[in-house]
Chains A and B, each alone.
Chain A
Amino acid sequence: MNDNDELTERAVLSAVRDEISVLPLPAAPHLETITARARARRQRRVGGLSIAGAVACAALAVSLAGGSGGAAPAVQRDTAPPRHAAPVQLTAFSVVTGAGGSTTLTLYPGEVANPSAVHQALAEHGIPALVTAGRFCQNGTSPGWPGIDQVATFSATGLQHPANGQAGSRIVVIHGSAIPRGAKLSIGYRQDPQNREISFTLIQDGVPLTCTSLPDNGPHGNH
């Protein structure tokens, strides 16, 4: 590029700049306008992850640092992971408020949810629970308690994992108000991410537990 070319380039670019610069351009909108729009979109996006029929009043997508060990902190996901990037954190489960005051626990396939994180998330939704991976604990139900099917119901769906795309999420809809005083919901699931067996039953608070590596066929949901 010779001097004349450079002069031409500068002059043309300057002319373009000048033409646009004299325009009365609108001022920037308030930042809150932008962030509110993003917030609304984020809520819709999170809501879209919940099961059909569930009203996503509040959604908590909890991520689990890779593997089953360690107590990964429960974090609220505020942006969708970039599609092209290898996820640093994979969502292993979610806990959302559903219709009629119910709480929906979704265990996504291909990963083992951290029991501590599941317990914490359920507690934040007012569900007293004992959550175990690799074992299942019970101590006998108390007379007069409702049947387990009145407290929690199970469904297996084709819902895909939001990050790894695997189908086969397991969903437990919990009616927290049906859990009797002095009781907890014991939830146990396999540590093998490919074996998505899950069991749940009511247990008495403060009574010694019997834990087994495999769920038996007692009065609980075993799926």
Chain B
Amino acid sequence: MSHETEKTEFADFFQKSWEPCLKAVVASTGSVELAEDQVAEAFTRAWLAWRKVRRHPAPRAWVVRTALNTGASWWRRRLRELPLAGHDTTATGGADDGLDAALLTALRHLPDRQREVIALRVFLDLDVDTIAVHLGIAPATVRVHLSRAITTLRHQLSPSQAMEVDR
């Protein structure tokens, strides 16, 4: 495959995948600004490794995973740089981004794996089996993560949303 063909293919993937990947990472980090940087970085790495990524069973999931890992390493670096800051370094967001504060807080406080499963399920429309392959865990484990995350989130929904759930 020529370089130009690869670039055309990547351009198509990039245009179609930017928004869903960004939403998935926003859901995980709680910050639009942070997610934008991380997703841009992930797409940069995707292009660098495009021959591998294009063969991935879920290339968008690869981007999301890379973005989240990038964020984790950024925060770890930040923690080393600011050892005396004493602040919770969880990504900020919430009201400033216009997100539902309660739901966002609940999302942010989910265990990493539960949050990632939710992001992949909701924004990339991946089924349980594909998520399982991507994360290298059993489908049953994915269902457990999904179920626990939903149970937690359900308690954070606004009254109107809760009513809809309970109907």
Binding site for B on A (CB under 8 A): 1, 5, 7-9, 11-13, 15-17, 19-26, 28-29, 31, 33-35, 37-38, 41-42, 78-80, 82, 85
Q: B residues within 8 A CB of A31? A: 10-11, 14-15
Q: Which residue of B lies closest to A25 (CB)?
A: B22
**Tally of chain B residues near chain A (CB < 8 A):** 45
Partner of B47, one of A16, A21, A29, A34: A34
| Residue B118, interface by CB 8 Å | yes
Instruction: Establish whether residues B52 and A17, one from each chain, have CB atoms under 8 Å apart when the complex forms.
Output: no
Instruction: Establish whether residues B15 and A28, one from each chain, have CB atoms under 8 Å apart when the complex forms.
Output: yes
Can you give 12 A-B contacts (C-beta < 8 A)? A7-B165, A8-B150, A9-B147, A11-B161, A11-B164, A15-B157, A17-B123, A20-B27, A24-B98, A31-B15, A38-B48, A85-B52
Instruction: Establish whether residues A42 and B48, one from each chain, have CB atoms under 8 Å apart when the complex forms.
Output: yes
Instruction: Establish whether residues A79 and B98, one from each chain, have CB atoms under 8 Å apart when the complex forms.
Output: no
- Of B27, B45, B47, B51, most A-chain CB atoms within 10 Å: B47
Q: A residues within 8 A CB of B22? A: 25-26
Looking at the assembled complex, report how far the CB atom of B136 sits from the nearest CB atom of chain A, in whole angstroms.
13
A-B contact number at CB 8 A = 96
Instruction: Establish whether residues A38 and B44, one from each chain, have CB atoms under 8 Å apart when the complex forms.
Output: yes
Q: A residues within 8 A CB of B107? A: 16
Binding site for A on B (CB under 8 A): 3, 7, 10-11, 14-15, 18-19, 22-23, 26-27, 32, 36, 40, 43-45, 47-52, 97-100, 103-104, 107, 118, 121-123, 146-147, 150, 153-154, 157, 161, 164-165, 167
Looking at the assembled complex, report how far the CB atom of A30 sits from the nearest CB atom of chain B, in whole angstroms.
10
Instruction: Establish whether residues B103 and A13, one from each chain, have CB atoms under 8 Å apart when the complex forms.
Output: no
Instruction: Establish whether residues A15 and B150, one from each chain, have CB atoms under 8 Å apart when the complex forms.
Output: no
Instruction: Establish whether residues B48 and A26, one from each chain, have CB atoms under 8 Å apart when the complex forms.
Output: no
Alpha-carbon gap, A37 to B41, bound state (A): 9
Alpha-carbon gap, A25 to B21, bound state (A): 11
Q: Which residue of A lies closest to B7 (CB)?
A: A35
Partner of B103, one of A19, A28, A29: A19
Known: A17-B123, A28-B18, A31-B11. 9 other contacts (CB 8 A): A11-B164, A11-B165, A13-B150, A15-B153, A19-B103, A23-B26, A25-B19, A26-B32, A34-B40
Looking at the assembled complex, report how far the CB atom of B151 sits from the nearest CB atom of chain A, in whole angstroms.
8
Instruction: Establish whether residues B118 and A13, one from each chain, have CB atoms under 8 Å apart when the complex forms.
Output: yes
Q: A residues within 8 A CB of B19? A: 25, 28
Report, nearest first, the 10 A-B pairs whose CB atoms are least far apart.
Answer: A28-B18, A11-B165, A38-B47, A12-B150, A37-B44, A19-B100, A20-B23, A38-B48, A38-B44, A15-B161
Q: Which residue of B lies closest to A76 (CB)?
A: B3
Alpha-carbon gap, A38 to B44, bound state (A): 5
